[in-house]
Amino acid sequence: MVRGVLGLAIVVSLIPLTIIRTADNAESKMTFNKLTPDEERVILRKGTERPFTGKYLKNSGEGTYVCKQCDAPLYRSSDKFESGCGWPAFDDEIPGAVKRTPDADGVRTEITCARCGGHLGHIFEGEGLTSKNVRHCVNSISLDFVPVTEKVTTEKAYFAGGCFWGTEHFLKEVAGVISTSVGYMGGHTSDPTYQDVCDKGTGHAEVVEIVYDPDKTSFEDLARLFFEIHDPTQKDRQGPDIGDQYRSAIFYVDDGQKSIAEKLIRILEDKGYDVVTELTRADTFWKAEDYHQDYYERTGGSPYCHAYQKRF
């Protein structure tokens, strides 16, 4: 496969709004909360609230901090600490919830919500304030707080359906998906690189890891879409991409996911599809290189071997 060169990503946000992106007959929605002018200044235009004024600076309650714009879970209260900097500080994030982007000046690193791209603040390392030696400096105005009595839960799913660029492109837009990452799974080598996998000696498949809110979407919803955005009858290939790294596979995390996948495959087979999708227990997910993450959003391109086709 020939991989493209990264381009510039341009993000446009309109508030309030419901973003609807449609590919062929596939409709997926990401709904944003209405923001106040002050919230827009920080979250959309990367501003900063005044120090020692934020709502959650002194909050010591147990619970989860979520994105003000899209409600994605970002931080656990157990990772919050007093840094004296004037803004809420955390030394860890919920896995996959936060993205890091170097500022244009090359000095600081911005942190944004992985789900919607909303500005959170900046991240600093090497200060020695906690054992993790990391400080997420976050604007209170970018957050909401969900008390522990209203517990936020997340679940994971792993899908392989050809080039992981296209698979991620479609699945990340499902309402309820918190974050996505592309990487490798199902092989026999540790910490593989993209070149290792392309050399066809590792046994790994190109996989998308989905972190989702089970109260807003389900594994079955995600699996149904997975079967409709790639051709599950193609063995060890997808479109022009040939090799076992492009195989169709679901790496299930528990027997419930396996049963749902088996049910959907039976439905497709009853409809006449010769499904070759493999069902394999999930093992270690090796995250791919940064330039593969959110590829089409970064480059402005569109999938070349994935397209929506209604099958259910």
| pLDDT at 30 (0 to 100) | 64
Give the type of residue at 110: E
Please provide the size of the chain in residues.
Answer: 312
First vs last Cα of the chain: how many Å apart? 30
- 249-292 pLDDT per residue, tens: 999 999 999 999 999 999 999 999 999 999 999 999 999 999 99
pLDDT at residue 21, rounded to an integer: 31
pLDDT at 7: 33
Q: How far from chain centre, in Å, is Cα 253?
A: 17
CB 44 within 8 A of CB 13: yes
What pLDDT is recorded for position 27? 41
- Per-residue pLDDT, 24: 37
Q: What is the pLDDT of residue 297?
A: 83
pLDDT at 64: 94
Rounded CA gap, 124 and 47, in Å? 18
Q: How far apart are CA 30 and CA 32, in angstroms?
A: 7
Catalytic residue numbers read: 137, 163
190-193 long-range CB contacts below 8 Å, 24 or more apart?
190/284, 190/286, 191/286, 192/286, 193/289
Report the C-alpha dihedral over residues 130, 136, 140, 144, rounded to 10 degrees: -100
**Cα 205 to Cα 151, 202, 235, 244, 292, distances in angstroms:** 34, 9, 12, 7, 14
DSSP 168-212: HHHHTTSTTEEEEEEEEESSSSSS--HHHHHTT-S--EEEEEEEE
Decide: 228 and 311 in contact? Cβ < 8 Å: yes
Instruction: Say if CB 305 and CB 246 are below 8 A apart.
Output: no
Q: Give the containing element (helix H, strand E) for 225.
A: helix 219-229
pLDDT for the residue numbered 29: 54
Look at the domain 37-150 and name its fold: 2.170.150
CB 243 within 8 A of CB 237: yes
In CATH, what class is 155-299?
A: alpha beta
Pull the structure tokens for residue 277: 């999708």
Contact, 134 vs 123, CB < 8 A? yes
**Delimiting residues of CATH 2.170.150.20 domain(s) in the chain:** 37-150
User: What is the C-alpha to C-alpha distance for residues 190 and 225, in angstroms, rounded to an integer?
Assistant: 30
- DSSP code for 107: S
Token digits of residue 160: 């392989």
pLDDT of residue 106: 84
Mean per-residue pLDDT over the chain, rounded: 89
Q: Vertex 28, ends 151 and 298: CA angle to 5°?
A: 95
Q: Are 148 and 62 in contact (CB under 8 A)?
A: yes
Taking alpha carbons only, the member of 117, 89, 114 closest to residue 13 is 117
- Strand runs (DSSP E) across the chain, as ranges? 17-23, 26-32, 63-67, 73-76, 80-81, 89-90, 98-102, 109-113, 119-125, 134-138, 143-147, 155-161, 177-185, 205-212, 237-238, 241-242, 248-252, 278-281, 286-287
Segments of the chain scoring below 50 in pLDDT: 1-28
Domain(s) of CATH 3.30.1060.10: residues in the chain: 155-299
Angle between helices 164-171 and 219-229 (to 10 degrees): 130
- DSSP-derived 3-state class of residue 242: strand
Q: Cα 70–72–75 angle (5° rounding)?
A: 130
